[in-house]
Amino acid sequence: MIQAFVPKSRLTKYMGEPNIKSISLSTIFGSASSSCSFAALAAARALVLKGAHFITAVAFMFASTNLVIELGILIFIFLGWQFLAAEIVGGLVLITISSILMKIFYPEEWLKAARKKVEQDSIDENEDFDWKKRIKSKAGWRLVGKNFVSEWKMVWEEILIGFTIAGFVAVLVPKQVWSSIFLINLSDSLPSWLIALENALVGPLVAAMTFIGSMGNIPLATVLYSNGIFFTGIMAFIYSDLMVPPLVAVNVKYYGKKVALYIAGIMYISIIITALLLNMIFGVLDILPQSSKQIAELTQFKIDYTFWMNLLFIGIAGWLMNLNRKFHQHKKNDKEMNHDMNGNTTSIKRKIAYLFILILIGGLVSYIMT
């Protein structure tokens, strides 16, 4: 909808410069958006396409995955109010630090090339339009359907592979492994500050290895904390949902390899600094959390509100796919559709995705039979 209904000149007016006002607005827009990591990346790409500065786009990504209400509720339920406070304060600190780092280390040529790539990968659109008229038109909503399907075509393999691996990690990896990775077994022989530093350094790497992003890493964070992992490690782990390989791979598709790794590097450094600052501040205030909460049985399928919401949005997705079909019917020379359909469907990643589909079907059949 951002791509279809927001004129570039209108958005650039508010988010086109890397100043405090633009970054603050990006933070507000991000916190009001979806908490899904993949949706955050897609929305940020749409903002870049519309002329938003890369610094404000990164601020939007951090806000949309760390400052949303539903994430805060989940953190409060599983980890307690201290972690909720840390998530809110730390999210703002994280955005501030990343913005400063990007201003200092700003690869002008790389980001110009990345913006050009985003523009080339998108259909040429007339930016001189009245959004009020377009949002009321059938053509406008057909364009929304086209954008929806195009985004899914770009990222469905990463999403499927990432969450399937995440499920195996959450179920099969013993809790003792996490304690060893975070040096909890050496807590009696090593100074606490050293373990806190190691936890901050390792937390994002563990998040990357688990392939879990956004809301999905909170239950695993609870498992980690119940095993004694330090506060810095937990916060670094939670903040790193945008650094998992599937998401980095999506950024590679969007902006190219150099810029994707640059963004990941900025995030990694910002996360470490933020986690250590939070640990110091909460220590001084004597509110470092002490929790004994255990993870609930969240891996089980349930007929609850999430199930019904899924059905609702499956229906909405079907409607958008139908709009995409109508969009292409109204195009006489649809080069982009031909390009998408004739892509490298025999790639290794595509084969892995199909294999995981079979595994998931097998798991569903096994669950039903037992």
pLDDT of residue 99: 95
- Quote the CA–CA distance of 200 and 233 in Å, as a whole number: 5
290 versus 286: which is more confidently predicted?
A: 286
pLDDT tens digits, residue range 351-361? 888 999 999 99
pLDDT of residue 338: 44
Which of 94-103, 176-185, 336-345 shows the lowest per-residue confidence on average (mean pLDDT)? 336-345
The residue extents of the domains of the chain are: 2-123+165-300
pLDDT tens digits, residue range 55-71? 999 999 888 888 877 77
pLDDT tens digits, residue range 232-257? 999 999 898 888 888 898 899 999 99
- Quote the CA–CA distance of 82 and 230 in Å, as a whole number: 13
Does position 96 have pLDDT exceeding 60, yes or no? yes
